[in-house]
């Protein structure tokens, strides 16, 4: 019996199994479903939820699941942001921390990384998709609202379309004033203009592709201050 127990333990070690293994997408989905509502996060409750440190630990020691990298890393980004805000909550703004996006605070499969590198050095670099900007939530009010579900590879396209539709038909996010013939856009479209088009007209065409009420592309574009 002692030999069998020793053999079993050796097999467990050799296969890489550990008690920290979890179904990432299921746990992440439950976490977001529990703490996110109407595009906002209940950080008071998040601070005492044991699933968040489990998810962060898992991300730090496990590779992105093969064939699911894009959906996985979107969730990872949002969980990193939630974790970082929760650790210093209450906080007025992510920008109260000068290194919020650039400090290598987290581990991703054993390597230290920053939010900036995850977004721009991995996701935008390897998975060029303008809809990412409506799924990655930086913890600011000016961001598109965070979802109360985890992104999953099998439904990722429809989920990203859903988020783009919600953001681009939201009159608080993009809007126009006919009297001044101006389209007001989030600074996101200024900072990442190349993701949406080569010029202002192409950016408006991209936005109109999701809108029920189209913008007049002859209008001027202005960017309102990011909150």
Q: Does pTM top 0.85 for this prediction?
A: yes
Helix (H) or strand (E) holding 20: none
Q: What's the pLDDT score for residue 93?
A: 63
The strand pair at 175-177 and 182-185 is best described as antiparallel
The strand pair at 182-185 and 220-223 is best described as parallel
* Domain spans, the chain: 18-155, 175-223
User: What separation in angstroms does the CA of 57 have from each of 53, 95, 117, 158?
Assistant: 6, 25, 19, 29
User: pLDDT in tens for each of the 227 residues of the chain?
Assistant: 434 334 333 433 333 334 356 899 999 999 999 999 988 999 999 999 999 999 999 999 999 999 999 999 999 999 999 999 998 887 666 665 778 889 999 999 999 999 999 999 999 999 999 999 999 998 666 678 899 999 999 999 999 999 999 999 999 899 999 888 999 999 999 999 999 999 999 999 999 999 999 999 999 999 988 76
């Amino acid at each position: 019996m002692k030999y069998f127990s020793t053999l079993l333990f050796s097999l467990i070690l050799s296969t890489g199994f550990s008690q920290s293994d979890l179904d990432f997408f299921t746990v992440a989905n439950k976490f977001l479903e529990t703490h996110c509502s109407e595009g906002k996060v209940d950080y008071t409750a998040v601070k005492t939820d044991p699933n968040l440190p489990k998810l962060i630990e898992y991300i730090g020691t496990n590779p992105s699941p093969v064939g699911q990298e894009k959906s996985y890393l979107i969730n990872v980004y949002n969980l990193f942001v939630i974790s970082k805000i929760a650790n210093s909550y209450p906080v007025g703004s992510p920008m109260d921390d000068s290194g919020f996006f650039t400090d290598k605070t987290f581990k991703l499969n054993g390597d230290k990384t920053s939010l900036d590198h995850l977004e721009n050095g991995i996701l935008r670099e390897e998975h060029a998709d303008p809809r990412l900007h409506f799924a990655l939530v930086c913890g600011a009010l000016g961001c598109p609202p965070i979802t109360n579900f985890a992104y999953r590879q099998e439904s990722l396209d429809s989920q990203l379309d859903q988020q783009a539709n919600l953001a681009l038909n939201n009159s608080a996010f993009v809007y126009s004033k006919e009297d001044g013939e101006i389209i007001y856009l989030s600074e996101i479209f200024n900072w990442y203009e190349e993701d949406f088009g080569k010029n202002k007209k192409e950016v408006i065409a991209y936005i109109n592709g999701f809108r029920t009420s189209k913008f007049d592309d002859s209008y001027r574009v202005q960017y309102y201050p990011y909150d």
